[in-house]
Amino acid sequence: MIRTACLGLLAATTLTACGDNVSAFEPWYLDELAPEEGVWVRTPEFEVAAGEEIQDCYFFEIPATAADPLWIDKFELALNPGSHHMNLFRVGNVVGLDPAAGEPIDLGGVRGTVIRGGECWSSPNWASWPLVVNSQQSSADEPVYTWQLPDDVATRFAPGERLMLQVHYVNATTQETPFRGRAGVNLTRSTADTIEMGTLFATQQSIRICRSSPTPVFSGTCSMPEGQHHVAAVNGHFHSRGERFSVYAWDGVSTTRPPDAARFYQSTRWAEPDMVNGLDVPLPEGGGVWWTCEFRWREPDIGCAAVDARDPQMANDCCYTFGPTVETSEHCNVFLYYYPKTQDINCF
């Protein structure tokens, strides 16, 4: 109740501020970490104009002076309200998104480069880049997502390893950025953990949500390498036509959806989907995960013309198809964290 009242007051303040709403926002704060404590990154603040979607890719390196290797057992991920997502990847094979082509930038605890828009929108550029961590939490009352990894488990980085922090902001009809965009990451050093965390990033290709077939359901699987693995955390990602996102433990043999008892994640919140951590879900050996996205078509606030313009089939059926733009396209992505790591996994 107190929280509701505070938000109400905040909204009223914003409305009466005649456009100067930056002053109404109390910024989040993360500690600046000394080198022996870990690595910290802060993007500058940036304007997200009405009607805009912004996606920027910030590149930096794990400091080469860090102990070899650097183990991290706590993530703190902070976002001003309005963010659609923040993803941290390890830079792999460089195709069209070259860190060296970016503009030099001061990122607080590290220096790096930034590529604003352009190739930062093109997903094949990071198709082979392993996921490190992600956050979709950017509410005004909970701008910081803190994740203490399970006991004895940590994420490992090599000194000098290149990372890419991708930040997506929306200030349009489906999501709003009431203040200014900004992201921060703290990677807190672990000294005692010995089990490595692995990641799994999976996405459904060529999805299609059309006026004439308004409730499609898409499912996929992602098989794990040999060995016994435990899921530590998971979150799903789709846009505003997404109604239910479910992830199940899967035996690796069946071709039908696993029973409800095998489901360890379900979210119906597209804009701020739950990141479920604290899990310890053993996956069947030789198996993996099964995920399902249930969609419901809705009339786009900006009209069908912009949606139709993106449709490769040019069906003129107001079909939302695969793509990163929240207003006009859809996703069906799984972000999953498991241990012990065999290798990082992408399924798409």
Partner 1 sequence: MLLRRVAVAIALVTAASGCSDDAPTTCPIGDRTQPIELVAVHWPAGGVVEDLADGGAVDLVRPIQGGKVVYVGVRARNVDGCNVQLTAALRDPATQQVIALEQRPVRLVDGGDGWGRAESTFDHLANVPACPNAAAARDVDGATWGLELRLDEAGGRTATVTLVVTPRCGLVGEDEECRCECDSDYELGAACPVDPVDAGVDA
**Contact positions toward partner 1, by CB under 8 A?**
90, 92-93, 123-124, 126-130, 203-208, 212-213, 216-221, 223-226, 252-257, 286, 288, 290, 312-313, 315, 321-322, 342-348
Task: Kindly compute the dihedral angle of the four CA atoms of residues 140, 107, 115, 177, in this order, to the nearest 10 degrees.
Answer: 10
3-state secondary structure of 336: strand
Q: How far is the CB of 210 from partner 1 (least distance, A)?
A: 9
Q: How far is the CB of 298 from partner 1 (least distance, A)?
A: 15
**56, 85 Cβ separation under 8 angstroms:** no
Give every CB contact of residue 344 below 8 A, 6+ residues apart in sequence: 90, 130, 131, 198, 199, 200, 201
Q: How far is the CB of 348 from partner 1 (least distance, A)?
A: 5
Nearer to partner 1, 145 or 320 (CB): 320
Q: How far is the CB of 67 from partner 1 (least distance, A)?
A: 22
What's the DSSP call for residue 48?
-
Nearer to partner 1, 196 or 272 (CB): 196
Please report where in the chains the tokens 């139709």 appear, as a residue. 308
Q: How far is the CB of 43 from partner 1 (least distance, A)?
A: 24
Please report where in the chains the tokens 């920027």 appear, as a residue. 56
Nearer to partner 1, 272 or 308 (CB): 308
Cα distances from 208 to residues 53, 237, 310, in angstroms, run 21, 16, 11
Q: How far is the CB of 217 from partner 1 (least distance, A)?
A: 7
Nearer to partner 1, 144 or 347 (CB): 347
Q: What is the DSSP annotation of 3-27?
A: HHHHHHHHHHHHHTTTT-GGGG---
Nearer to partner 1, 14 or 122 (CB): 122
Nearer to partner 1, 102 or 130 (CB): 130
d(CA 75, CA 185): 7
Strands 263-267 and 242-250: antiparallel
